[in-house]
């Protein structure tokens, strides 16, 4: 298995696990508040704030996932360039050695 396969198969790292755990916790709390808000006499403002918080968390989540995907793509491209450079340097050394 080369480094590219390793990167492709390594879907989540520790920071991502922390993010998903915190996201799940906050999602559960907001969901609980949202359900409770349906059963209680809350002001329209309080209900709107809960809905705004839910929407904000969704937006943050989409942004973070997008950034993680970009980072993976960047890392894959960077590793491809590194591999190509190493291969080119290796071929150059081989040609220099054969020339001598």
Q: What is the spatial distance between Cα 68 and Cα 20, in angstroms, rounded to a whole number?
A: 12
Whether the CA torsion 47, 48, 50, 54 is positive or negative: it is positive
pLDDT at 58: 94
Query: Does the pTM exceed 0.85?
Result: no
Q: What is the spatial distance between Cα 100 and Cα 95, in angstroms, rounded to a whole number?
A: 9
What SS3 class is residue 13? coil
Q: What is the per-residue pLDDT across 39-68, written as a single tens digit (0 to 9) for each?
A: 778 888 888 999 999 999 999 999 998 998
């Amino acid at each position: 298995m080369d480094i590219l396969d390793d990167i492709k198969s390594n879907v989540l790292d520790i920071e991502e696990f922390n993010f998903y755990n915190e996201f799940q916790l906050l999602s559960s709390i907001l969901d609980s508040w949202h359900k409770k808000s349906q059963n209680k006499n809350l002001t329209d403002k309080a209900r709107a704030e809960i809905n705004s918080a839910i929407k904000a968390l969704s937006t943050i989540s989409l942004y973070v996932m997008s950034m993680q995907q970009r980072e993976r793509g960047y890392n894959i491209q960077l590793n491809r360039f590194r591999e190509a450079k190493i291969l080119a340097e290796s071929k150059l050394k081989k040609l220099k050695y054969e020339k001598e």
